[in-house]
């Protein structure tokens, strides 16, 4: 390659751009942050003075890590930089005498172009628009925080009246008519039903940075205007069919369902006993973005948190525990301005704990079948099985068909096969627990007309030496699978695999090193296993697989089906309130094992406590790698196409927790 001529060429281009930028002195908006690991993780923006360009500068910190500063730079400085190194717009200079070394400086000349400066990947290809994202600003155009929306989301701006003040809220919202059409759907300010919404202006649009202005929603002109780039796509009177064709083509693409998201609905079923002072409810939020602003909303209040590291443990008021059968408003909505993953814990002293991975609201469904672990034997039968349904949306009609008799809901007594219909509003929950050994809620069928959350478990299940709270967040039937790999569980004494069918007489084959058995499952089957061994499961209809892990006590975890293996990096944050012995087990196709990285967040390898491999029902080899993890750990693969599953578990003297840490 001829460096001189290409250098001259790029220099000329830079100079021309410089001249052009002097001529067309429109102000642009640039990403503006210091010390970010990649420009695209910057969520601040700046209106640059007229004539300025966006700049990306990279440097190495004292520890050799490459970090970035992004912002505005005068076009003159940009062109001088380019002259100093005529071989490229990218400058490579050493600043001697400081700890930092400039690696690159690059200017560019369009809105947010510095997301992709210095050869970095810009925003992901698969994304929604970049939107302003400020909970409150007097003028939406002055908002200086952005959010890269997920696919299926669009920009939203809304006028809010509160205590006589007018301000604007900007954000990403899901591209559904309920979000942009109706005033009554999700708005934190609405909690407590304060009358903050009258005929407020609200506006949805789908271009980058389009939510800088609130177009009046009642204007009849807007509903008939021909499609322009800034046309509002969902007004109160506009139906989905008026949406520009680009929106329908993006929504037709399968939406990537994933365990990371910006809105979660949490519920806490009753633990062993309820004592306000000793029950600790927690939401562990992990984030790979540099900053995340979290809001936790209950019927009582709405609280903001800031995650500036990789994880934050948020305490939830123990009053949010569901304790009485029937309807209540015990839901907790957690929102974030950047994608996070959320696990929830319910801890009773150090002696009974349960944890689950919450699914983002966009991954919820309308058709669920409950799975719990088997009820306790006679001596402890009062600690029964339980489940709860939670509503992230108002006016959700839920039909529950019970799998067992003797269920009392205030005012009513139900038997097996009874259908309970309940209408839930946002944050409402409907809770059922049983208290005899004959009552197993597994197989209870839940159908709703809007997406709901289902959490299930056992108040306290007995293992070999004590009882422990069991809880899982269930996937809708549409996410069930037909191929599973059950990993070996270090330190456990035995396990029970419970397989729940969606269709009666489902044929299920369970293969281990020593056996190969076929079951015809009407509602569910329990299989005692040697927990040091992996098992492969295949079925002719979709099933749900739950694993009860027995040590001194017992805990239940969902086992992801192979089609729920995910390629997203996973951050694990273990409970710190008591001393748990924590493990991570990764299941991955053996051919893809070599690029797997299991590390502490400081970059050191986690210590391996065992690896085995075993073929799935189709003969593909899978590896199961177990490491111990204390505090914060990460699991990722150097090839972003490779999918794997992660189950996290930990033992305390009288408690166990276990949950899947990723799900596609
Ligand atoms: C200009 O940049 C190139 C690489 O892009 C580098 O090799 C060279 O040393 C730089 N020259 C100066 C004067 O900084
Ligand atoms: C548009 O919506 C407003 C308020 O909901 C309503 O009063 C009006 O009749 C609607 N117009 C049409 C054309 O549907
Ligand atoms: C309300 O929020 C505060 C924190 O601001 C928290 O301490 C309190 O427990 C919350 N109450 C409920 C019922 O969630
Ligand atoms: C939460 O429970 C405690 C103890 O029962 C009680 O004092 C407090 O008022 C409750 N808070 C709310 C918001 O219900
Ligand atoms: C719930 O049951 C009612 C009454 O049988 C029925 O009309 C309705 O369609 C059902 N809803 C769902 C979502 O299944
Ligand atoms: C399991 O048994 C069936 C029937 O005996 C056989 O066809 C199949 O190959 C066996 N699978 C494995 C993995 O051993
Ligand atoms: C479980 O499997 C291991 C390894 O094959 C074996 O040593 C052990 O005896 C088995 N335990 C039981 C209870 O079968
Ligand atoms: C991923 O890691 C493996 C094992 O360390 C290595 O052989 C492979 O080249 C790496 N691939 C990439 C794309 O870095
Ligand atoms: C294994 O790696 C190959 C190549 O990267 C990839 O195509 C395949 O999907 C991976 N398998 C799984 C289960 O992720």
The tens digit of pLDDT for each residue in 625-644 reads 999 999 899 999 999 999 99
Residue nearest to atom 14 of ligand 8 (CA): 638
Average pLDDT of span 81-86:
52
Average pLDDT of span 468-478:
96
18 — pLDDT class (breaks 50, 70, 90) = very low
CA distance 179 to 210: 17
pLDDT value at position 83? 53
DSSP code for 476: P
CA distance 551 to 297: 36
pLDDT value at position 166? 84
Tokens representing 366 are: 């309308």
> 639 CB under 6 A from ligand 8?
yes
Give whichever of 61-65, 78-82, 589-593 has the largest mean pLDDT.
Answer: 589-593
Question: Is 5's pLDDT higher than 80?
Answer: no
pLDDT value at position 82? 61
Cross-strand partners of 58: 68, 104
pLDDT value at position 220? 26
CA distance 83 to 81: 5
Give the β-pairing of 494-501 and 535-550.
antiparallel
CA distance 636 to 288: 12
Average pLDDT of span 161-180:
78
Lowest mean pLDDT among 170-184, 386-400, 578-592, 595-609: 170-184
pLDDT value at position 75? 79
User: Among residues of the chain, what percentage have pLDDT more than 70?
Assistant: 82
> 640 CB under 6 A from ligand 8?
no
The alpha carbon torsion through 392, 393, 399, 402 (nearest 10 deg) reads 10
CA distance 253 to 221: 31
The alpha carbon of 492 and the centre of ligand 6 are apart by a number of angstroms equal to 28
Residue nearest to atom 7 of ligand 4 (CA): 276
Q: Which residues line ligand 1 (CB under 6 A)?
A: 85, 87-88, 90, 92-93
Average pLDDT of span 12-18:
47
User: Among residues of the chain, what percentage have pLDDT more than 90?
Assistant: 58
Average pLDDT of span 189-202:
46
pLDDT value at position 311? 92
Question: Is 426's pLDDT higher than 80?
Answer: yes
Question: Is 509's pLDDT higher than 70?
Answer: yes
What would the pLDDT profile of 534-546 be if each residue is shown by its tens digit?
999 999 999 999 9
Q: How many CB atoms lie within 10 A of CB 650?
A: 24
Question: Is 332's pLDDT higher than 60?
Answer: yes
Question: Is 232's pLDDT higher than 50?
Answer: no
Question: Is 89's pLDDT higher than 80?
Answer: no
Ligand 1 pocket test, pick from 92, 101, 102, 104 with the greatest ligand atom count within 8 Å of Cβ, gives 92
Residue nearest to atom 14 of ligand 6 (CA): 516
> 605 CB under 6 A from ligand 8?
no
Kindly give the number of the ligand 1 atom that is closest to the alpha carbon of 93: 14
pLDDT value at position 286? 95
136 contacts 167 by C-beta, under 8 angstroms: yes
Report angle CA 111, 115, 118 to the nearest 5 degrees: 120
Cross-strand partners of 347: 280, 353
HSE (CB half, 13 Å, CA atoms) of 580? 28
Q: Which residues line ligand 6 (CB under 6 A)?
A: 511, 516
The alpha carbon of 412 and the centre of ligand 5 are apart by a number of angstroms equal to 19
457 — pLDDT class (breaks 50, 70, 90) = very high
Ligand nearest to the CA of 274: 4
CA distance 281 to 577: 11
pLDDT value at position 226? 28
pLDDT value at position 385? 95
CA distance 497 to 312: 32
Question: Is 657's pLDDT higher than 90?
Answer: yes
Question: Is 177's pLDDT higher than 80?
Answer: no
The alpha carbon of 530 and the centre of ligand 7 are apart by a number of angstroms equal to 6
Lowest mean pLDDT among 103-112, 176-185, 351-360, 408-417: 176-185
489 — pLDDT class (breaks 50, 70, 90) = very high
Average pLDDT of span 488-515:
96
334 contacts 263 by C-beta, under 8 angstroms: yes
Ligand nearest to the CA of 637: 8
Q: What phi, psi does 245 have (nearest 5°)?
A: -60, -30
Question: Is 316's pLDDT higher than 90?
Answer: yes
**pLDDT averaged over the chain?**
83
Average pLDDT of span 298-324:
94
Question: Is 397's pLDDT higher than 70?
Answer: yes
Give the β-pairing of 632-637 and 596-600.
antiparallel
Residue nearest to atom 11 of ligand 1 (CA): 85
Instruction: Give me the CATH topology for the region 29-85+100-115.
Output: CD59 (2.10.60)
565 — pLDDT class (breaks 50, 70, 90) = very high
598 — pLDDT class (breaks 50, 70, 90) = very high
Question: Is 494's pLDDT higher than 70?
Answer: yes
505 — pLDDT class (breaks 50, 70, 90) = very high
pLDDT value at position 335? 97
The alpha carbon of 608 and the centre of ligand 8 are apart by a number of angstroms equal to 19
Question: Is 202's pLDDT higher than 50?
Answer: yes
Residue 162 vs residue 130, higher pLDDT: 130
Query: Terminus-to-terminus CA distance in the chain, angstroms?
Result: 44
Question: Is 520's pLDDT higher than 80?
Answer: yes
Instruction: Please give the helix or strand (H or E) that residue 531 lies within, else none.
Output: none
pLDDT value at position 602? 85
CA distance 159 to 27: 26
pLDDT value at position 351? 82
Average pLDDT of span 412-435:
91
> 303 CB under 6 A from ligand 3?
yes
């Amino acid at each position: 390659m001829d460096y001189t001529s290409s250098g001259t060429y790029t220099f000329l281009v830079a100079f021309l751009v410089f001249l052009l930028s002097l001529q067309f002195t429109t102000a642009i908006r640039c990403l503006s942050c210091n010390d970010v690991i990649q420009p695209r993780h910057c969520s601040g923006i700046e209106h640059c003075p007229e004539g300025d360009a966006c700049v990306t500068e990279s440097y190495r910190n004292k520890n050799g890590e490459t970090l970035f500063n992004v912002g505005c730079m005068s076009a003159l400085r940009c062109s001088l930089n380019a002259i100093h190194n005529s071989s490229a717009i990218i400058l490579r200079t050493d600043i001697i005498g400081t700890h930092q070394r400039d690696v690159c400086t690059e200017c560019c000349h369009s809105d947010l172009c510095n997301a992709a400066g210095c050869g970095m990947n810009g925003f992901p290809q698969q994304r929604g628009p970049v939107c302003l994202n400020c909970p409150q600003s007097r003028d939406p155009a002055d908002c200086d925080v952005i959010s890269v929306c997920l696919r299926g989301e669009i920009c939203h701006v809304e006028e809010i009246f509160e205590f006589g003040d007018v301000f604007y809220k900007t954000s990403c919202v899901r591209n559904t008519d309920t979000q942009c059409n109706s005033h009554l759907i999700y708005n934190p300010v609405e909690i407590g039903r304060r009358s903050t919404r009258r005929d407020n202006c609200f506006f949805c649009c789908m271009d980058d940075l389009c939510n800088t202005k609130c177009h009046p929603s009642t204007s009849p002109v807007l509903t008939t205007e021909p499609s322009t780039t800034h046309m509002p796509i969902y007004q109160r009177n506009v139906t989905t069919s008026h949406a520009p064709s680009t929106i329908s083509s993006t929504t037709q693409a399968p939406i990537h369902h994933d365990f990371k998201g910006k809105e979660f609905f949490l519920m806490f079923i009753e633990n062993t006993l309820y004592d306000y002072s000793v029950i600790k409810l927690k939401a562990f939020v992990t984030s790979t973005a540099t900053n995340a602003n979290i809001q936790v909303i209950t019927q009582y209040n709405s609280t903001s948190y800031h995650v500036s590291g990789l994880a934050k443990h948020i305490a939830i008021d123990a009053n949010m525990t569901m304790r009485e059968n029937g309807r209540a408003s015990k839901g907790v909505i957690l929102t974030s301005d950047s994608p996070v993953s959320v696990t929830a814990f319910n801890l009773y002293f150090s002696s009974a704990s349960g944890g689950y991975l919450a699914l983002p609201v966009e991954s919820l469904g309308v058709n669920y079948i409950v799975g719990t672990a088997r009820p306790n034997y006679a001596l402890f039968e009062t600690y029964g099985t339980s489940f709860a349904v939670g509503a992230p949306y108002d006016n959700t009609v839920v039909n529950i068909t019970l799998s067992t008799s003797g269920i009392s809901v205030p005012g009513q007594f139900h038997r097996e096969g009874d259908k309970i219909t309940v209408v839930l509003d946002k944050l409402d929950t409907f809770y059922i627990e049983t208290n005899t050994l004959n009552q197993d809620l597994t197989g209870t069928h839940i159908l709703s007309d809007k997406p709901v959350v289902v959490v299930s478990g056992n108040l306290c299940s007995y293992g070999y030496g004590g009882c422990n709270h069991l809880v899982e967040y269930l996937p809708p039937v549409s996410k069930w699978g037909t191929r599973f790999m059950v990993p070996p569980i270090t330190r456990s004494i035995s396990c029970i695999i419970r397989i729940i069918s969606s269709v009666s007489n489902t044929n299920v084959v369970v293969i281990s090193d020593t056996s190969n058995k076929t079951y015809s499952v009407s509602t569910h089957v329990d299989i005692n296993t040697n927990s040091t061994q992996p098992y492969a499961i295949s079925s002719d209809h979709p099933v749900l697989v739950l694993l009860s892990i027995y040590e001194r006590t017992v805990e239940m975890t969902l086992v992801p089906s192979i089609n729920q293996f995910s390629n997203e990096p996973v951050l694990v944050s273990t409970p710190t309130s008591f001393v748990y012995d924590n493990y991570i087990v990764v299941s991955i196709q053996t051919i893809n094992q070599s690029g797997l990285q299991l590390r502490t967040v400081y970059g050191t390898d986690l210590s391996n406590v065992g690896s085995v491999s075993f073929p799935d029902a189709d003969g593909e080899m899978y590896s199961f790698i177990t490491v111990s993890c204390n505090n914060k750990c990460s699991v990722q693969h150097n090839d972003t196409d490779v999918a794997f599953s992660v189950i996290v578990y930990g033992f305390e003297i009288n408690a166990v927790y276990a949950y899947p840490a990723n799900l596609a």
